[in-house]
Chain A
Amino acid sequence: MASTRAASIQPKTAAFSPNGKAFSSPKRKDLLTVEHLPLETVLHLLDRSDHYVKFLEAPGPFQKLKILEGRTIANLFFEASTRTRTSFELAERRLGADVISLTPAVSSLAKGESILDTIRVLEAMKIDAFVIRHNVSGVPGFLASRLPHNLHVVNAGDGVHEHPTQALLDAAEMRAALGSLSGKHVAIVGDILHSRVARSNAWLLAKLGAKVTFVGPDTLMPRNVAAVFGVDTTNNLDSILDTADAVMMLRIQMERQARGFFPSIEEYREEYGMTPERMSRSTALILHPGPINHGVEIETEAAYGERSLVLRQVRRGVAVRMAVMEWLFSNEV
C-alpha cells in the first residue's frame, strides 16, 4: 500500500538539480545561479541597475513605481540577514509589489522537509515570486524544481554555493568605477572555502572578461578551485597589490579559527588584512560585501577611504535587486 502511495506522489522526473538547470522550462524565469546566467542577461541587469541607481539618487521625495503592481513577493530568509533582506524588500516595494518577509526559524538541517511545506503553503496563498536565502547549498534550486513554472525564484544566497545579486551589484559598481571589466584584474581575499560571494563573483567576472585571483590560506581554499573557476590562486596578498584593479575583502567568520582553519586572528590580519600600509602600495578599489569586521580583514580607514566602494555597494544592492525583480516579470531574456 505504501509503495502505491509513494508512486503517486513521486515526480516522474529525476530528483532536483542543485542549480535548478534540469528543471528550467523555456518559459521559466528564475535567478538561481550566476554560473548559468547568459551574458546577455547579465548586461541587461547591469544596465538596468545603472538606471535605477540614478533613480535612487534623484533628490526629493521618492516616487513609487507601478511596474510590479498587483504582484506579491515572499522573501524567505531561512538564514538571518538584515541587510540583504532589507535591500530586497526596498527594491520590491519601490517597484510597487506587495511584499511579505518571513524568517522561519530553522534550528537544524533535519528540518529540511518543512521547507518544502512552507513554500507549498505560501504558493497556495498565491505568491508570484519567492526570494530565498538558506544556509544549505542548492535549496533555492530544489524549491524551484518543485514549484509550478509560472512562479519565479530568486536565490538570495544558498550555503556556500552562490549569491547572484551580490555578484551583480559588485560587478555593476566595479564597472561604473573602472569603465569596463574587460582585461581588469580583481582579487578576492579571504575565506574562499566558505564563500558563496567568491563563487558567484568568479563566474560573473569571467563572463565580463576580467581576470580573477583568489587570495587566502590553503586551509580556506576549496579543492580544485583554480580548475573549477578558471582563476589564479595565491597565498600572498602583497603579490597582487600592484596589479589588482579591485580588491574584494571577504568577511572572516571568527568561529573558523576555533575550527582550526587558521592559527589566530592576529596572524590572519597580518597575512590577509587590508591595512593602511597595504592600501598605500596599491591603487585598487576596495570592496567588501559586509558586514565588516573592523580591524580584522579590513581596517576602518580602508573600508571607508576614498577608493572604497563599500557604501556604494549597499546602494547598488537595491538598484540591482530592482533590476532583477523587474526582469523576472518582463519579456526580457
Chain B
Amino acid sequence: MNLVLQNARVIDPVRKLDEISDLEISDGKISRIGTALTSTFERRDLNGAVIAPGFFDMHVHFREPGFEYKETIESGLDAAMAGGFTGVCCMPNTQPAISDPFVVSYIRERAAGHLVALEICGTMTNGRGGEELSPMAALAKAGVRMVSDDGAAVRSAEVMRRVFEYAKMYDLLVTQHCEEHALTHGAVMNEGMVSTRLGLPGWPAVAEDIIIARDILLAEYIGNVRYHVAHVSTRGGVRLVREAKARGLVVSCEVTPHHFTLTDRAVEELGTNAKMCPPLRTSDDVDAIIEGLRDGTIDAIATDHAPHALHEKETDLASAAMGIIGLETAIPLGLTHLVGAGKLTLSQFIERSSIAPRRLLGLRPASISIGEPANLTMFDPAKQWRFEESDIRSKSHNTPFLGTEFTGKVLGVVSNGQAHFL
C-alpha cells in the first residue's frame, strides 16, 4: 500500500511529536515525514486533522464462538475499524470460553488478514468457573498476553492468590472484573438515590472497591505481578489504584467512555441501554474518574464493547442483558467530553487510547517514525456530527448514544498494509 497523507497534525506522544506535516507510506511502512512532500502516490488531504498512533481497545466482547447472533469476529473487527481502532483485545467469555489454546487459534484464524489486529485474552480459571486455574502456560504459548474471567470476579481469595502466583510465571497481565457478587444479587443499576426511587435492586460501589482492595493486597503479598482493574467505575476504586501506584505496585486500570460520560440518572431516561456492569455511577464518581484520567491513575480508555441482540435489550430492566456497544462511539465521546471539554490534552487522550493499552499488553507501540509499519488513527477533533444507526458496523445496535451530537469524528485508519477511510 502506497499513500500520502497531506496537511495533517501528526501527534505521537512517545516521540513528543506534534506538528503539521505530510506523511508518506510506502509498502505499508512510513517512508517520509515532512512538509510539501512530492510523490506519485495516491494523496489524501487531511486539512489539518490529526494523525495519531493507531488506537487500541483492550476490552471488547466479540461473542465468537458461541454467540454469533450478537457479534462475530468479522463484524466486531469491522466495528473497530469504523470506530478508529487498529487493534483490540477480545475478552474470553465466549462459549466455549477462551480457556484452551484451540479456541485461541480458532479466533486468530477468523481474524487473519483484517486491518485491525486482534489480541486475545484467556480466562484465569477454567471456563470462568472460578475454581481451577486455566492452562496459562499453554495459553501464553498460543500468544495470550492477558487473562481475565471478565463478566465475573474470581470469588475465592485462595483461587485468586493461585492465579497471581501462576500468571506471573508467564508475565501475564491479570485483569479482574471487580465485583463482590455477594453484594450484587439481582442488581440492575447503581445503588443510590435513583435506585431507591425507582425501586430497582442496587449494585453498591463498595462491591467493586472490596475486590480491588483484596486484589491489590494479594498482588502486593505475592509480588512481581501485573494487576489490572477492568472498567473501573467508582471514586473508591480510583483512590485504591492511585494509592497502590504510589506504593510502587504494578497496578493499572481502564475506564469505559460510558463511565466518564453518563451517570445512573441515565437509567431513567434511556432504560436498558443504560444497564451496564459495572453500572453507571454518580456524578461524584464521574468527577473522580476524570481526575484519575488526568493524573494518570487511570492508564487506559477501553470500551467494554458488549453487543446484544434487540430482544435482549427490548425488555424490562431486570430481564435485560448488561452492556452496550462502544467501538463506534469511543473516540467521539473522548474527543467531546475529555478533549473538547478541556479535561485532557489531545496528547494525553492519545496516550490513554493507544500507547498505554499496548504497553500494558506488552505490545510494540504504534510509533509514527520512518521505517515503522504505518499504524495510524486519523480524526478531526473539531468536526461536528450526529451519530446515527447507519454509522454502526457492529451486528448489534444496543447503544444509548443514537442521535447524540459529537464534536470530533474519526476519518480513517491505516494498519496491516491497508487503509480504510470513512
Contact = CB atoms under 8 A, between A and B. Distances in A.
B319 A14 contact: no
Interface in A145-160: 158-160
B318 A18 contact: no
Nearest to B196: A222
A138 interface: yes
A3 B319 contact: no
Contact of B200 (A10, A22, A159): A159
A161 B395 contact: no
Contacts of B396: 3, 6
Nearest to B396: A6
A57 interface: no
Of the listed residues A138, A199, A225, the one surrounded by the most CB atoms of chain B closer than 10 A to its CB is A138
A319 B274 CA distance: 39
Interface in B192-236: 192-193, 195-200, 202, 204
A289 B207 CA distance: 34
B191 A223 contact: yes
A16 B268 CA distance: 8
B187 interface: no
Nearest to A14: B270
Contact of B310 (A6, A18, A112, A142): A6
A116 interface: yes
A138 B319 contact: no
Interface in A169-228: 196, 199, 222-225, 227-228
B297 interface: no
Nearest to A16: B271
Contact of B270 (A2, A15, A111): A15
Nearest to B75: A3
A17 B267 CA distance: 8
Contacts of B397: 3, 6-7, 10
Contact of B316 (A14, A115, A229): A115
Interface residues of A, number: 42
A113 to B, nearest CB: 5
Contact of B192 (A2, A10, A224): A224
Contacts of B320: 112
Contacts of A109: 318-319
A14 B267 contact: no
A138 to B, nearest CB: 5
Of the listed residues B197, B269, B316, the one surrounded by the most CB atoms of chain A closer than 10 A to its CB is B316
B315 interface: yes
A3 B193 contact: no
A16 B272 contact: yes
Interface in B268-298: 268-274
Interface in B378-406: 389-390, 392, 394-397, 400, 402
Contacts of B272: 15-16
Contact of A10 (B198, B271, B389, B394): B389
B16 interface: no
B199 A159 contact: yes
B117 to A, nearest CB: 24
A137 interface: yes
A228 B199 CA distance: 11
Contacts of A3: 392, 394-397
B311 interface: yes
B372 interface: no
Interface string A105-141: 0000111110110000000000000000010111100
A161 B198 contact: yes
Given A159-B199, A199-B199, A222-B196, A112 B316 contact: yes
A199 B198 CA distance: 9
Interface residues of B, number: 40
Given A14-B271, A138-B200, 8 more contacts: A10-B310, A15-B270, A18-B268, A18-B271, A138-B198, A138-B317, A158-B199, A199-B199
Contact of B319 (A15, A112, A224): A112
Interface string B318-331: 11100000000000
Contacts of A137: 198-200, 317-318
B313 interface: yes
Lowest 3 CB-CB distances: which A-B pairs, in order?
Answer: A112-B319, A15-B271, A161-B199
Interface of A: 2-3, 6-7, 9-10, 14-19, 21-22, 35, 109-113, 115-116, 134, 136-139, 142, 158-162, 196, 199, 222-225, 227-229
Nearest to B266: A14
B132 interface: no
A21 to B, nearest CB: 8
A110 B202 CA distance: 18
Contacts of B198: 18-19, 137-138, 161
Contacts of B394: 3
Contact of A115 (B195, B202, B315): B315
A131 to B, nearest CB: 17
A35 B199 CA distance: 12
A206 to B, nearest CB: 13
B40 to A, nearest CB: 39
A138 B316 contact: yes
A22 B269 CA distance: 7
A146 B283 CA distance: 30
B318 A112 contact: yes
A159 B191 CA distance: 16
A6 to B, nearest CB: 5
A116 B319 CA distance: 12
Given A10-B310, A223-B195, A136 B269 contact: no
A139 B193 contact: no
A250 to B, nearest CB: 14
B319 A160 contact: no
A14 B316 CA distance: 14
B102 interface: no
A109 B201 CA distance: 13
A116 B193 contact: no
B243 interface: no
B269 A17 contact: yes
B317 A18 contact: yes
A7 B388 CA distance: 10
Interface string B295-310: 0000000000000011
21 contacts: A2-B69, A14-B271, A14-B402, A15-B270, A15-B272, A15-B273, A15-B400, A17-B269, A18-B198, A109-B318, A109-B319, A113-B311, A113-B315, A138-B200, A142-B316, A160-B199, A222-B195, A223-B192, A223-B204, A227-B193, A228-B193
B314 interface: yes
